[in-house]
């Protein structure tokens, strides 16, 4: 089958290749991929940023999002059958969405939202799971709380805005001039154009900040939190909880804590907290999220679509910061099936 594999770590390490179709285990679902999407995590894994924690055996197929049709099920699979339309974020060490077929553990798979096409559903799994795990599992956001989402027009930010509003929070976001109207349409109550103003001079007493930029932006984010508030970073620095989540040796946890010591110390001095976040695969949560997409509480935001053979170009498009809003989708079809439930532009 055709696939895009990481042959070596680094910017030039991803290439097109012919690889064997995946072996289907007893608990696996074999999916013919209809579409996938590009995530910052794809670049990070390709570049080997987590190679001490995620020990992939090269060459391996890249790609963390999948939407497609079930073609075969393992002998122990229950709840899925050939022909089902599904979506998934395959678990770490079993990724592989940049391919014609992928075998996925049934626990990571869910029926796609009925209201979304396969093309739209491909933009959803990773960012939707991350939003749910941040807002519900980690922060336990409640009605009336205040949430600041940086980069609100991005794939993750646009999803977090919508889910936080659904949970009853007051949502502020940072974005650029071109996407102010978009983030307002997604439900943001307070919109700050970062090209015009500094969010840290306007906001205060927030319960949660989601930071995807790190550095000075993260440091300033600590100052807008209320006492006991939480800043969650998805771009780092990592902490010991990250190493523990991936089952790494304790010595790596110590190293992770060292990387985040400065920001955690700054947070403690302000009476707030900092935690690193790395999402996990979870098919049961995708089922819950599908209901939210079908109810209209959530909708995907899609910037552009590339055909499968231009996957490398799609990766470069995202890396170069050319995405204006939402996700970049890669479709196996030359005529993507974009629909009315998503904000989308096809290339």
* 341 within domain boundaries: no
> pLDDT 10s digit of each residue in the chain, 347 long?
999 999 999 999 999 999 999 999 999 999 999 999 999 999 999 999 999 899 999 999 999 999 999 999 999 999 999 999 999 999 999 999 999 999 999 999 999 999 999 999 999 999 999 999 999 999 999 999 999 999 999 999 999 999 999 999 999 999 999 999 999 999 999 999 999 999 999 999 999 999 999 999 999 999 999 999 999 999 989 998 998 898 888 888 898 999 999 999 999 999 999 999 999 999 999 999 999 999 999 999 999 999 999 999 999 999 999 999 999 999 997 444 433 345 554 44
Instruction: Output the six-digit token pair for 194.
Output: 């970062």
Q: What is the pTM of this model?
A: 0.94
**Residue 158 shares a structural domain with residue 272:** yes
* 209 within domain boundaries: yes
* 160 within domain boundaries: yes
CATH at residue 53: 3.90.180.10
* 290 within domain boundaries: no
User: Which residue range is the domain that position 204 belongs to?
Assistant: 126-276
DSSP string, 113-141: PTTS-HHHHTTSHHHHHHHHIIIIIIS--
**Residue 145 shares a structural domain with residue 241:** yes
* 346 within domain boundaries: no
**Residue 234 shares a structural domain with residue 95:** no
Determine the straight-line distance between the first and last CA of the chain, rounded to whole angstroms: 25
**Residue 116 shares a structural domain with residue 132:** no
**Residue 114 shares a structural domain with residue 149:** no
Instruction: Output the six-digit token pair for 94.
Output: 């079993």
* 289 within domain boundaries: no
**Residue 22 shares a structural domain with residue 136:** no
**Residue 79 shares a structural domain with residue 177:** no
**Residue 109 shares a structural domain with residue 134:** no
**Residue 173 shares a structural domain with residue 255:** yes
- The answer to whether the CB of 149 falls within 8 A of the CB of 175 is no
Domain count of the chain?
2
DSSP string, 53-112: TS---SSEE--S-EEEEEEEE-TT--S--TT-EEEE-PPTTS---SBSEEEEEGGGEEEP
**Residue 246 shares a structural domain with residue 223:** yes
At residue 36, the 3 state secondary structure works out as strand
* 338 within domain boundaries: no
């Amino acid at each position: 089958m055709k696939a895009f594999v990481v042959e070596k770590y680094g910017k030039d390490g991803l290439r097109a290749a012919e690889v064997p179709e995946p072996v289907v285990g007893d608990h696996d679902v074999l999916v013919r991929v209809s579409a996938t999407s590009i995530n910052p995590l794809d670049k990070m894994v390709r570049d080997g940023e987590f190679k001490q924690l995620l020990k992939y055996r090269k060459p391996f197929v890249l790609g963390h999002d999948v939407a497609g049709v079930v073609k075969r099920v393992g002998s122990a699979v229950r709840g899925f059958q050939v022909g089902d339309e599904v979506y998934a974020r395959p678990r770490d060490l079993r990724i592989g969405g940049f391919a014609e077929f992928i075998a996925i553990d049934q626990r990571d798979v869910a029926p796609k939202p009925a209201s979304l096409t396969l093309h739209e559903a491909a933009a959803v799994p990773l960012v939707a799971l991350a939003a749910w795990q941040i807002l519900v599992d980690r922060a336990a956001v409640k009605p009336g709380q205040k949430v600041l989402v940086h980069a609100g027009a991005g794939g993750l930010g646009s999803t977090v805005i919508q889910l936080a509003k659904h949970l009853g929070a007051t949502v502020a976001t940072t974005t650029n001039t071109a996407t102010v109207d978009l983030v307002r349409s997604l439900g943001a109550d307070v919109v700050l154009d970062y090209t015009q103003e500094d969010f840290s001079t306007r906001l205060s007493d927030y319960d949660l900040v989601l930071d995807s930029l790190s550095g000075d932006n993260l440091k300033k984010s600590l100052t807008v939190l209320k006492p006991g508030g939480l800043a969650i970073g998805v771009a780092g620095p990592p902490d010991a909880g990250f190493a523990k989540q991936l089952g790494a040796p304790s010595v790596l946890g110590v190293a992770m804590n060292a990387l985040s010591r400065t920001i955690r110390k700054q947070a403690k001095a302000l009476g707030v907290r900092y935690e690193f976040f790395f999402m996990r695969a979870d098919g049961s949560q995708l089922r819950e999220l599908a209901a939210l997409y079908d109810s209209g509480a959530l909708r995907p935001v899609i910037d552009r679509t590339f055909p499968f053979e231009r996957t490398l170009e799609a990766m470069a498009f995202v890396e170069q910061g050319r995405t204006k809003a939402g996700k970049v989708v890669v479709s196996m079809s030359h005529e993507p099936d974009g629909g009315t439930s998503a904000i989308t532009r096809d290339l």
